[in-house]
Amino acid sequence: SQQGEEDPQALSIQEGENATMNCSYKTSINNLQWYRQNSGRGLVHLILIRSNEREKHSGRLRVTLDTSKKSSSLLITASRAADTASYFCATESPYSGYALNFGKGTSLLVTP
Amino acid sequence: NAGVTQTPKFQVLKTGQSMTLQCAQDMNHNSMYWYRQDPGMGLRLIYYSASEGTTDKGEVPNGYNVSRLNKREFSLRLESAAPSQTSVYFCASSEGTGGTGNTIYFGEGSWLTVV
Residue B32 pLDDT > 70: yes
Distance from CA of A36 to the nearest CA of B (A): 11
Alpha carbon of residue A67 to chain centroid: 15
Q: Which of A52, A98, A104, A106 to mutate to test the interface with B (most CBs of B within 10 A)?
A: A98
Give per-residue pLDDT as tens, B94-109.
Answer: 987 655 677 889 999 9
- DSSP element (H, E) containing A64: strand A61-66
d(CA A48, CA A74): 11
Q: Which residues of B touch A36 (CB under 8 A)?
A: none
The pLDDT, as a whole number, for residue B20 is 98
For range B76-103, the mean pLDDT: 88
Q: Which of A32, A100, A106 to mutate to test the interface with B (most CBs of B within 10 A)?
A: A100
Distance from CA of B17 to the nearest CA of A (A): 25
d(CA B27, CA B29): 5
Show pLDDT as tens, one digit a residue, over chain A (112 residues): 556 788 899 999 999 999 999 999 988 888 899 999 999 999 999 999 999 999 999 999 999 999 999 999 999 999 999 999 999 999 887 666 667 888 899 999 999 9
Distance from CA of B77 to the nearest CA of A (A): 20
Of A26, A103, A35, nearest to A74 by C-alpha is A35
With CB atoms and an 8 Å threshold, state whether A30 touches B108: no
Q: Which residues of B touch A35 (CB under 8 A)?
A: 104
Q: Which amino acid is located at A84 in the chain?
A: T
Q: What DSSP string describes B53-100?
A: T--EE-S--TTEEEEE-SSSBEEEEESS--GGG-EEEEEEEESS-TTS
A90: number of CA atoms within 13 Å, CB side? 30
d(CA A36, CA A34): 7
* B101 reaches A (C-beta below 8 A): yes
The pLDDT, as a whole number, for residue B95 is 87
The pLDDT, as a whole number, for residue A28 is 84
The pLDDT, as a whole number, for residue A2 is 52
